[in-house]
């Protein structure tokens, strides 16, 4: 009888622990990379901020100024979203990401970074489970301060229409008029991909969205 009672108690505690872990897995940290300030808002380097804004709109939530960034929190079909726009500037993005991972007790597998990529044609989406920083200072900072490059990221192609040595000016430059007209549709696709990531996981999201989007 005593042995059976111990088994029941152990099973009860194990069940509570499993429930807690499942609850933790429902929390997602979405980080849009960019630079704070109105002068950067519509630059190519700030696609992450624009995507974060669109996702917050979709979840009907607002950003508030908190430590290391603007943060919006919302729920969607049982998933808890923490959406972060770091205020640390691009080169120190890892500081904000590390803080919010630790504060919200979120595993890096439940992190999604949104960033620009000059190696992809405009409008192309590439989602990966891990990868190098590719020379991107924001990803480099995250890698250094969170302990490695094994975290999901969504890269949005901004093209590379610049002369040799002109990359910095290009990524900090404004979108073309044509791109500005097309961006809202792409931002909708990105926000849908982020929700899909929370609902169906990384692999299915990669299978569905790793292509040039058909608007």
Per the DSSP assignment, residues forming a β-bridge with 82 are 29, 73
Is 45 annotated as catalytic?
A: yes
Q: Under a CB-based contact definition with an 8 Å cutoff, are residues 34 and 51 in contact?
A: no
**Euclidean distance between CA atoms 84 and 52, whole angstroms:** 7
Selecting among 44, 45, 95, 126, the annotated active-site residue is 45
The H-or-E segment that residue 184 falls in is: helix 177-200
DSSP for residue 159: -
Name the token pair of 2: 């005593």
Q: Are strands 27-32 and 111-117 parallel, antiparallel or unpaired?
A: parallel
Catalytic positions, written as ranges: 45
């Amino acid at each position: 009888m005593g042995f059976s009672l111990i088994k029941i108690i152990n099973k009860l505690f194990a069940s509570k622990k499993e429930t807690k872990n499942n609850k933790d897995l429902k929390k997602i940290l979405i980080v849009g990379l960019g630079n704070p300030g109105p002068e950067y808002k519509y630059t190519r380097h700030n696609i992450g901020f624009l995507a974060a804004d669109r996702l917050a709109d979709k979840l009907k939530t607002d950003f508030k100024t908190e430590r290391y960034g603007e943060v919006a929190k919302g729920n969607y079909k049982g998933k808890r979203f923490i959406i972060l726009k770091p205020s640390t500037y691009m080169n120190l993005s890892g500081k904000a990401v590390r803080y919010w991972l630790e504060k919200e007790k979120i595993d890096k597998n439940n992190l999604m970074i949104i960033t620009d990529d000059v190696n992809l044609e405009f409008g192309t989406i590439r989602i990966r489970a891990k990868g190098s920083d590719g020379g991107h200072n924001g990803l480099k900072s995250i890698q250094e301060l969170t302990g490695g490059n094994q975290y999901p990221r969504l890269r949005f192609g901004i093209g590379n229409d610049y002369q040799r040595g002109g990359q910095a000016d290009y990524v900090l430059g404004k979108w073309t008029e044509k791109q500005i007209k097309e961006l809202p549709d792409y931002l909708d696709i990105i926000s849908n991909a982020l929700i899909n990531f929370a609902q169906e996981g990384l692999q299915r999201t990669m299978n569905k969205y790793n292509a040039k989007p058909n608007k």
